Amino acid sequence: MRIVFFGTPAFAVPSLRALLDEGAEVVAVVTQPDKPQGRSRSVLVHPPVKELAEAHDIPVLQPDRPRGDLFLAHLRRLAPDLGVVVAYGHILRPEVLSVPPRGMLNVHASLLPRHRGAAPIQAAILAGDAETGVTIMQMDAGMDTGDILLARSTPVGAEETAGRLTERLAALGAQTLVEALVLMQRGELHPIPQEPALATQAPKISRDQARIGWNAGAAAVARQTRAFDPVPGAWSTLDGVEVKLFGARAARGSGPAGVVLRTEPDLVIGTGDGAVSVAEVQPAGKRRMSAREWCRGRSAEPGGVFA
């Protein structure tokens, strides 16, 4: 079976590697263009899946947008039987979805229909979900609305960050994808329509969403710092300086929302309903460091207010 693979970030790499390890015939990888980085924007950084594809001599396509006559013609010349999409970052139009005779499969990092959208991992942590998982779905023209082909669940750790959960779900997604393809070859996949009434949305993370709401209570603040660790980082301001905070957890004590209650031995901040201790911080323009190290420089003192 000839497969065209759509994917971009590190999350997609285990799925592509799993296909190659299973001997799948991947005829091309479609990914986003290289991104310029550095002060002069002169250094081009390849998408993680591009490096893996080139190491296996797989053709790589990097259109600005996966649409238009030229892209469609190129895709049709590849004559794929099936498409696999893993965190590609663009919505595929119906004319693209219809190119492979067996359609397109998507590896989605939630138990659909819960957390449809671009940020399902962060959404699961923010919501306090006890479990999440991956869903292999048959793509259609909607946003994560296609039939469910296979799903596998996993618990969400009490103190698990989005970074760690992403790594685990990437591995689980790769395993589940391979399992789904084996079942497809046997004719044993049975599509299940999603229940729209159970759907929740997980849109792309905005800057405002990552700003800490100190009056939300200790549990919610702790979830927020875990959901946005490592990126984009839950943030607040102290004395007009932006600071990202990581590793918050419920602590003894209580105080007004955002007020620094103590800095020794831990940085503890009131939330209006309990308090949180913060493990690490990253002031604007500086490296990530322990909260204790930061406080030793008198960057935060009792009575200061995060806003």
Reported as a single tens digit per residue, the pLDDT across 237-288 is: 999 999 999 999 999 989 999 999 999 999 999 999 999 999 999 999 999 9
| CB of 237 closer than 8 Å to CB of 229 | no
Q: Across the chain, where does the E strand assignment appear?
A: 2-7, 25-30, 35-37, 43-45, 60-61, 82-86, 104-108, 131-138, 148-155, 234-238, 241-246, 249-251, 260-262, 267-270, 275-278, 280-283, 289-290
| CATH, range 2-198 | 3.40.50.170
Residue ranges per structural domain of the chain: 2-198, 207-296
CATH superfamily of 207-296: Formyl transferase, C-terminal domain (3.10.25.10)
Q: What are phi and psi of 47, to 5 degrees?
A: -60, 145
Tens digits of residue pLDDT in 119-161: 999 999 999 999 999 999 999 999 999 999 999 999 999 999 9
In the prediction, which pLDDT does 58 show?
98
User: Would you say residue 42 has pLDDT above 90?
Assistant: no
In the prediction, which pLDDT does 297 show?
84
Asked whether the domain spanning 207-296 has the same topology as the one spanning 2-198, the reply is no
